[in-house]
Chains A and B, each alone.
Chain A
Amino acid sequence: MDKQLQPIVKKLKKEFGAEVTEFRGDVQVLLASEKLIAASLKLRDEFDFALLSTITAVDYWPEESPRFHIVYVFNSLSKNLQLMLRVPVAGENPTIPTLTKVYKNANWRERELWDMFGIKVDGHPDLRRLLMPDDWNGHPLRKDYPLGYEEPQFTFNYEEIDLSKPHGEV
């Protein structure tokens, strides 16, 4: 672990009861969702992690508690450090607090979480779908959502599949 990261991680451990793992040099801090806002404020103001690179989620379906891990990647430009936070969320009615008041660019990423994983974001100013159409059903990146594979047409099954296809006409 980077020398500069050690005191930060120690502090997160002490104040928020975080669990720290390191894998291939990437430091990941596991944290309860109630402590997310306080921890990110601390990271931003005290340790100068000014850049929130990304927010994403991992779906561990069929596991239920926790079903999701929300992953936050923070960067400090002044100290050249990177830190990942992980927040476990249960499968039933998954909700996380919003980071939009701390990092402005959390806005779209959290909308994407809602769109792709169906994770509700408490206090988000504009929680609409981001990438999929407004009338879409389901949340595509969940593991229980099918890929939506269509059987390709070949010579032997051409007519059979052709019947099920809509065809654009003038």
Chain B
Amino acid sequence: MGVEQKLGEMGAVTTTLEQAMNWGRTRAMWPMLFGLACCAIEMMAAQSAHYDMSRFGMELMRPSPRQADLMIVAGRVSRKMAPVLRHLFDQMAEPKWVIAMGDCASCGGVFNNYAVVQGVDEIVPVDIYVSGCPPRPEALIGGVMALYEKVEAEKIKAAA
């Protein structure tokens, strides 16, 4: 890993608690296996051999919201699905993040009509919006990288 060489004989690393915590959070961020529509196929493609998102510590997709840290809303959210989505989000343990993948999840996309929620940010707080219809797997990985930067800059909040 290279850490041994850097450490030498000392066997200790100094860092801030924030940095260590955020490093840990980003290196094992488990997304929820939550496919809605077209974007879910590209999400699967990003997970599979060709794009291999597991290079970034995301090989584990958890279908259970209890075990997931990151919700990737991959696809259009219908009015019927909206309460279910919120329900799933509420079940996720803190800290949790949301990526709105694709145009439909970000703003309704081409479907400006009665059935589709105009942006998933009406239901859950979104951290990163990934554009594209559907976004390429590279774009999704780029979105995840952007989220990492955001998480790494997070400060520890005093308990409320």
Is B80 in contact with A132, judged by CB distance below 8 angstroms? yes
| A136 nearest in chain B by CB position | B79
Q: A150-B108, A168-B126, A170-B96 are in contact. List 8 more A-B contacts (CB 8 A).
A: A132-B79, A132-B80, A148-B112, A148-B113, A153-B107, A167-B122, A168-B122, A170-B125
Question: What sequence of 0s and 1s flags, for each residue 19-56 of chain B, a beta carbon within 8 Å of any chain A beta carbon?
Answer: 00000000000000000000000000000000000000
A152 contacts the other chain (CB 8 A): yes
Question: What sequence of 0s and 1s flags, for each residue 132-168 of chain A, a beta carbon within 8 Å of any chain B beta carbon?
Answer: 1100100010000111111011000000000001111
Neighbouring B residues of A136 by C-beta, 8 Å: 79
Subset of 10 A-B contacts with CB under 8 Å: A136-B79, A140-B115, A148-B112, A148-B115, A152-B112, A165-B118, A168-B120, A168-B121, A168-B122, A170-B96
Q: How far is the CA of A169 from the CA of B114 in the complex (A)?
A: 23
Distance of A38 from chain B, by nearest CB (Å): 37
* Residues of chain A in range 110-150 having any CB-CB distance to chain B below 8 Å: 131-133, 136, 140, 145-150
Q: How far is the CA of A167 from the CA of B122 in the complex (A)?
A: 4
Interface range for B:
20 to 34
Neighbouring A residues of B121 by C-beta, 8 Å: 167-168
Question: What sequence of 0s and 1s flags, for each residue 80-122 of chain B, a beta carbon within 8 Å of any chain A beta carbon?
Answer: 1000001001000000100000000001100011110011111
| B114 nearest in chain A by CB position | A148
B61 contacts the other chain (CB 8 A): no
Q: How far is the CA of A167 from the CA of B108 in the complex (A)?
A: 15
Is A133 in contact with B112, judged by CB distance below 8 angstroms? no
Is B107 in contact with A146, judged by CB distance below 8 angstroms? no
Neighbouring A residues of B80 by C-beta, 8 Å: 131-133
Is A149 in contact with B124, judged by CB distance below 8 angstroms? no
Neighbouring B residues of A148 by C-beta, 8 Å: 112-115
Neighbouring B residues of A132 by C-beta, 8 Å: 79-80, 115
